[in-house]
Chains A and B, each alone.
Chain A
Amino acid sequence: GAVVSQHPSWVICKSGTSVKIECRSLDFQATTMFWYRQFPKQSLMLMATSNEGSKATYEQGVEKDKFLINHASLTLSTLTVTSAHPEDSSFYICSARGRTGKQNTIYFGEGSWLTVV
C-alpha cells in the first residue's frame, strides 16, 4: 500500500526554539496533506489542511503563526512548531490523500513525538 513517511520520529527541543517535522508521500503524489496532533490518551485532532499550491487551512483554535505549514511539493509537507513550549509536547501525525489511483484513500505517517523541555 501507499506509504507516508515522517521525519524525525522523535525530537527533543528546548523551550523557545523551533522544530520542523517533515511528511513525505513515498510512492504517490499527494494533492492534499493533513496535520494532526494527539495528546496522551486522547484521539487525533486535526490541526490543518495543506493543499498543493495554496496556503494551509487551519482548524479553529490552531494558531497559524505558531504552526507553520508548507506544502512544498506534491510529495512533501512540513510542519514547523515555532517558539515551542512544553505544552506543545505531543504526537504529531500527518496524512496524505493520493492523487491518482488512490484518490479517495488517505494514508497516515508513523507520527513524530515532540518533547519540549
Chain B
Amino acid sequence: DAKTTQPPSMDCAEGRAANLPCNHSTISGNEYVYWYRQIHSQGPQYIIHGLKNNETNEMASLIITEDRKSSTLILPHATLRDTAVYYCIGGGSNYKLTFGKGTLLTVNP
C-alpha cells in the first residue's frame, strides 16, 4: 500500500470550504485513493475514493493531480459536525487499508 502524508491538524471556519491535502507519491497505478473520517469513538466513515479522475459526491469532492502523487479532499461548506480526523489512504488490490495518523480538522464557529 502507498504511504500517505497528511498534515497533523487543520482549522476551518464554519461555512467555508475545507481543503485537506494528502501526498501519496509512491502510489501505484492500480491503487485507489480513499478518504475516510473518524469522529471520536465511532468507526471510520467512508467519504469518497478515486483512481485518476476527480470525483464528487454528496459529501465531498476529491481532486487528484494528473501525476497522482497528491490529492485534495474538499468539503464545500464545512459545519461543526465535520470536525473529525480525516484519513487519506492508498488502497491496493487486496483492499487492505493501512491507516496513518490522519488530519484532525477542527471546524470553528
Contacts and interface: CB of A to CB of B under 8 A. Distances in A.
Interface in B83-97: 87, 91, 94-97
A10 B46 CA distance: 22
A105 B32 CA distance: 10
A107 B45 CA distance: 7
Range of interface residues on chain A? 20 to 34
Interface in B65-109: 87, 91, 94-102
Nearest to A107: B46
A104 B44 contact: no
Dominant secondary structure of chain B at its interface with chain A: loop
A34 B96 contact: yes
B44 A105 contact: no
A56 interface: no
Contact of B34 (A45, A46, A93, A106): A106
B95 A106 contact: yes
Contacts of A46: 96-99
Interface of B: 32, 34, 36, 38, 41-46, 49, 87, 91, 94-102
